[in-house]
Chain A
Amino acid sequence: MIRFEGAAKRHPDGTVAVRGLDLEVPAGRTTVLVGPSGCGKTTILRMVNRMVEPTAGRVLLDGTDVAELPAAGLRRGIGYVIQQAGLFPHRRVIDNVATVPRLLGWDRKRARARAAELLELVGLPPETARRYPAQLSGGQQQRVGVARALAADPPVLLMDEPFSAVDPLVRAGLQEELLRLQAELGKTVLFVTHDIEEAVRLGDRVVVLREHGEIAQLADPHTLLTAPADAGVAAFLGRDRGLRGLGLRPAGSVPVAALDGRIAYEGWQLVLDPDGRPEHWLRGAERHPAPVFVPSRDSLRSALDAALLAPSGHAVAVDAEGRAVGTASRAAVVEALAATGPVGAPLPEQVPHAGR
């Protein structure tokens, strides 16, 4: 567990980066620091591994003030991932990943074996190991960065905007991968981002910061979206909070009508391929794609989206292999929505002193 006790950072020129932060980062969970640029989130993150020394207060790691630990030793026990990956350009990928184990005195063979495991864990093909960083795409470099951070199996992982520099599609893949990894590994993750969507997607807890590292709100993603603490947080969250909140709710509650022979609604007929995967909706000569959702994995938002897009008004539910298992009408999805209770909350404009 990481605990900030009045941790502050004032630069020599008098500007205040962080005024004085009190925060607990629970073990085994993902805590996301999110806020506009200049809010001190990176400074806060870097206090943990002493890349920044607080000018007042302290940071405790499992009860020990990090200032009392030797910097290099402390850092070798904490995973660290940054925006541009920061891989060593002259070393092969495998040796980049093996860096910390080697620093810890492992022999080369064992360190490389461990590095190979890690590359597999982050979803990189084995032939990547022999390559140099400049021969990889940005997304692959980030995966190597994550592998390097995890190589010595540190209990704590610090991630400073690790996915900001890659394109949205790759970013979504990396986020997915991190969620999977975290479910498997259960690290204490402190994650910094300026992207609220990313924060809500990845965080067990989200800390919204405003200037000087002041906490505007600390909440789980659902509470944050449905009940922002003030107008400033609401503005930062942006529009469509209600709809986006649906993205956090599982689609498992949507009643699915089982497939029963030939499926047709309003003249639209669902055409399946020989493996039972939906191909398209067909009416006369008209063809439309058949939007699908996976009830066990996707969110209510995905289910609603699929139902809205389908020309027949029915989303196709599929299993993990993509085989159709049933359909859900728009009405059925809305019914499931209604059953989960209100998504919204009092308008933040009505909160007094909400000046931001």
Chain B
Amino acid sequence: MNWLGWLHDFFADPAHRSGPDSIVHRLLEHLAFSAEALGLSALVALPLGLLIGYSGRGLFLVTAVAGVARALPTLGLVTLAVLLAGVGDTAVLLPLTALAAPPMLVAAAEGVRGTDPDVRDAARGIGLTHPQTLLRVCVPAAAPTLLAGVRTASVQVIATATVAAYVGLGGLGRYVIDGLATRDYPTTVGGALLVVLLAVGVQLLFALLIRLAAPPGTRPGPRTRARRTGGAAPLTPTDPANPPALVKDAP
């Protein structure tokens, strides 16, 4: 049977239309779990990254975290967490949260640090306090970079949440893992396709948000970007597969 036939079988299966194993239910599970991990992670990583980027202190921490995170095998981390904490949602949520943090931390720090120094100087010079300068000037200016970091984190979490079905989590990963376990290829292929569609959909959503976040008239090219970062040494890019959103997505 070819893969188109498998897909037909997958989507035609009544169990995938309604009930706990339905596509909608698995999709919502997947989204809820990913959002929870992302939200928790953002709560810690974004404020920390903003403060580090604004003050310029602790940049080494950002670089170190980013480097370590890239070296971590995601499946290994999930397995380790389950071995240590036992099967359960929390055991999977923690490594997912940890995985989402580095890209957001790096993006927040680099985005704020890259705010045009003249703009920051003017903000301070006309009487904005430090918190006002950070929140009203640096954060909006860094919004595209920030969003690019959240996008990278989202895609990583969505992908890893699939793998986490291996240790008992719900979501779209169930189709892939269960299908493989029972040699039910239609289910595996259908689940895989849904994960890909979800990841691409989230990417597109963020591309749109990033475009909206860039103020009209800014046409960042290599030269503009160099000026925006004010000659500061770049930190590690948020994701080598996704070039900086400023360059890629702006009109």
Contact = CB atoms under 8 A, between A and B. Distances in A.
Interface of A: 49, 51, 72-77, 80, 82-91, 99-100, 103, 131-136, 145, 148-149, 158
Contacts of A87: 119, 122
20 contacts: A51-B121, A75-B125, A75-B127, A84-B116, A84-B118, A86-B119, A88-B122, A88-B123, A88-B136, A88-B141, A89-B215, A90-B215, A132-B216, A133-B215, A134-B215, A134-B216, A134-B219, A145-B122, A148-B126, A149-B126
Given A73-B127, A100-B126, A88 B119 contact: yes
B146 to A, nearest CB: 12
Contacts of B215: 89-91, 132-134
B127 A89 contact: no
Contacts of A103: 126-128, 132
B217 interface: yes
A75 B126 contact: yes
Interface string B216-228: 1111000000000
Given A89-B116, A89-B215, A134-B217, A72 B125 contact: no
Nearest to A89: B215
Interface string B113-137: 0001011111111111100100011
A86 B127 contact: no
B122 A134 contact: no
B129 A72 contact: yes
Contacts of B136: 88
B244 interface: no
B237 interface: no
Contacts of A88: 119, 122-123, 136-137, 140-141
Contact of B125 (A49, A84, A131, A135): A49
Interface residues of B, number: 24
Nearest to B119: A86
Given A80-B126, A90-B140, A134 B218 contact: yes
A82 B120 CA distance: 11
B143 interface: yes
A51 B141 contact: no
Nearest to A88: B137
Contacts of B123: 86, 88
A85 B124 contact: no
Given A89-B218, A148-B126, 16 more contacts: A51-B125, A72-B129, A73-B127, A74-B127, A75-B125, A83-B118, A84-B118, A86-B123, A88-B136, A88-B137, A90-B141, A90-B143, A91-B215, A132-B217, A132-B218, A133-B215
Nearest to A75: B127
A149 B126 CA distance: 7
Contacts of B121: 51, 82, 86
A269 to B, nearest CB: 52
A42 to B, nearest CB: 11
A135 B217 contact: yes
A183 B89 CA distance: 72
Contacts of B127: 72-77, 100, 103
A86 B129 CA distance: 16
A125 B119 CA distance: 24
Interface in B39-63: none
Contacts of B116: 84, 86, 89
A154 to B, nearest CB: 10
A85 B128 contact: no
A73 to B, nearest CB: 7
Nearest to B139: A90
Contacts of A75: 124-127
Nearest to A158: B125
Return the 7 tightest CB-CB contacts between A and B, nearest first. Answer: A86-B122, A134-B217, A76-B127, A135-B217, A75-B127, A80-B125, A90-B140
Nearest to A83: B118
A82 B217 contact: no
B126 A51 contact: no
B245 to A, nearest CB: 15
Contacts of A84: 116, 118
A51 B128 contact: no
A158 B122 CA distance: 12
A72 B128 contact: yes
A135 B217 CA distance: 5
Contacts of A83: 118
Query: Which of B126, B127, B128, B218 has most chain A Cβ within 10 Å?
Result: B126
A99 B121 CA distance: 14
A88 B218 CA distance: 12
Contacts of A89: 116, 119, 141, 215, 218
Contacts of B122: 80, 82, 85-88, 145
A188 B140 CA distance: 34
A189 to B, nearest CB: 15
Given A132-B217, A134-B216, A51 B118 contact: no
B118 A86 contact: yes
